[in-house]
Amino acid sequence: MTAAAGIARDLASLVGTVLDGTYRLDQLIGEGGMGAVFRGRHVIMMRDVAIKILHPDFNRDPELVRRFDREAQSAARLDHPNCIHVSAYGTTEDGMRYLVMQLLEGVELADLLTEPTAPKRVVEWSIQILRGLEHAHGQGVIHRDLKPQNVFLTRDKHGAPLLKLVDFGIAKLVGSDAGDPLTRAGMVFGTPQYMSPEQALGLEIDPRADLYAVGILMFQMLTGRLPFNHEDAIALIRMQVSTETPQLPDNVPQELAAIVYRLLAKQREQRFPDARTVRAALERYRSNMSHKGRGDTSDPLLDIGAVAGTDTASRPLPEALRPRQIDFVESVLQTDRWSRRTRFKALIAGCIVLAVASAGLLYWLFSGDGPAAPAGPDAPAATAGEAGPGTDAPKAGTAGDVPSAMSQTTGPSELELATLDDLIKQGKLDEAQTQIDALLERHPGHSQLVWRDARQLAKRATMHEAAVRRYGEVLKKSPDLERDLGFIDEVDVLLRKRPFTDAAIALAVDLGAAGVPILVHYINDAKPWATWAQRRLIRDALPADAAAQVDLALNRRRDLEQYGEAPDPCAAAVPVLQAIQAEPLADYVPALKAALPPTVAAGAPANPACDQAAALLATVRTEYAGRFPEAFAPAKAVKKKPVKKKKKRGK
């Protein structure tokens, strides 16, 4: 008898068992890689439930136990119509873990995506999915594996269509994941077809990873196909990271397409900020379409009966409710499981040489297969077999970090680089520095080594400026990195730490479009660290479409305070005074009262702009005094109370 047959026999023998005297297992309705789901009965409340169990043989596997526990912990936080409800979780006396859920009747979303779906139906479905995510994210739960198999279509008690998010087995619990191998940065979990770029790279994720998956779902619903797909999981991950989103068909309304494209932005900063914002956008779109009389009026779940059939109790359990096997990418990265999980040996045999560690794998994934060498002074002409510029690197300071591959003809080996990555990850910075210095003597200026030097410097509290300079050197050697998500994410973390210096501004400018959010952050900083020259450099580097993000009131006040630092103070003062005169705000009053009329330097020729600025300053002050009299009222003198002398008492 095979192991699988033995497990099936053991599971079938559990029918009729009552767990903890409360939950009776009535019918086996689904099996998976590590357990099963039964139709069950709460024998006290006389209510049908679904009961997921972890097979006793797997209770000795700590990672499978953690996965099972994670699903219970995640789902227990949720109480929303669009999320599956978990009512109980426990362990029997003989050590069998179980999870009690509501019993759903219906179909998976995957069962209905055999052809393109009408836009109106897509909008209705997506709004419900986003409502579930909005609640989950509000409870600190990031799903991380949103896909059609994990969206269940049923009906509420009134018969109205209802979608539910299920399977929170690899969810990330925000704020409680320290040291948890299921959620640590550098590990890749999920389904590659629906995985955000940052998730595919093993970077730290936030709720916007789920929003990317919503974009994939919407694209698939609208077209009947995935935007990115490949039989090779490694190639598929590369597509998620660097391939542009395909165009939606012409029959998809432009307003709806714009929402999908924004959800699928490669950089999470360019996506919607949260699920609530996306839901609101779709609801506005739906309202506009109803007023225009556009869209179909069919029932989004009209075909459930045809798909599900009438005998829902006896049909196979949907994939969404089955105990899940480890996904391909996850199995590749969990190298310590290879010797124990023999059923995955055939799947991952070809990947063993790549997985020295999580970081080593990511390095290989994005080192390129073809003959392409990076631009830069240390990159000779490409020859056959060389690796091209890499794609991404994890965020600085996270486990499993590794820069993208920018291999040259000669350079350090992959093992040497992986060793450096491991030392930096473990915080053994002095040892890493020693090895980097030795390797740089053999390979002067090598991009990979300079990058790692920058990263170890960035982890030292007193080496901020040196780290910024080293990152600048890496970017100059490989300019294509300004489009590298991992590099950008890593540099972004460093550049948002104080102090903000000329070198930091220059590096943000060199990042091009990717550096715009950092520059906006600098120009809108409430702390007055930036000089006139620094602020002018930032303003000049910002593209026109970023102007709306600049805090005009804050920057006009700074200009009013700093025009004396300008190369021509008189010419700088006039437009500032004109702007605050045109839009009077109380915020300008302190700076206006403290401002001094700009003057011509001694020995310099007369400057009409100085006379204009002095007259304008006086005029604006007079106007503000009339508009904000309390702010310009002279301070009242504070009368000091006479101090009474204490009388000395005689002894």
Annotated binding site, which residues? Answer: 52
DSSP H helical ranges for 243-379: 254-263, 275-292, 304-308, 328-333, 345-348, 358-365
Spatial distance between the Cα atoms of 244 and 265, rounded to a whole number of angstroms: 9
Known binding positions for ATP: 52
What is the 3-class SS of 188-234, one letter each residue?
CCCCHHHCCHHHHCCCCCCCHHHHHHHHHHHHHHHHCCCCCCCCCHH
Place of tokens 């506009």: 288
Q: Which of 540, 217, 561, 195 shows the shortest CA–CA distance to 392? A: 195
310-334 in b/e burial notation, b at 16+ Cβ within 10 A? eeeeeeebbbbbbbbebbbbbbbbb
Identify the bridge partners of residue 108 per DSSP, sorted by sequence position. Answer: 152
Spatial distance between the Cα atoms of 183 and 395, rounded to a whole number of angstroms: 15
Contacts of 587 (CB under 8 A, 6+ apart): 553, 557
Q: What phi and psi values does residue 49 have, to the nearest 5 degrees?
A: -140, 170
Four-point Cα dihedral 468, 470, 474, 479, nearest 10? 40
> How many Cβ atoms sit within 10 Å of the Cβ of residue 465?
14
Token pair in block for residue 546: 């970023």
CA-based end-to-end distance of the chain? 108
SS3 category, 380: coil
Q: Which of 144, 262, 130, 146 shows the shortest CA–CA distance to 205? A: 144
Spatial distance between the Cα atoms of 21 and 6, rounded to a whole number of angstroms: 26
Cis peptide before 499, with omega less than 30 degrees from 0? Answer: yes
Spatial distance between the Cα atoms of 131 and 109, rounded to a whole number of angstroms: 16
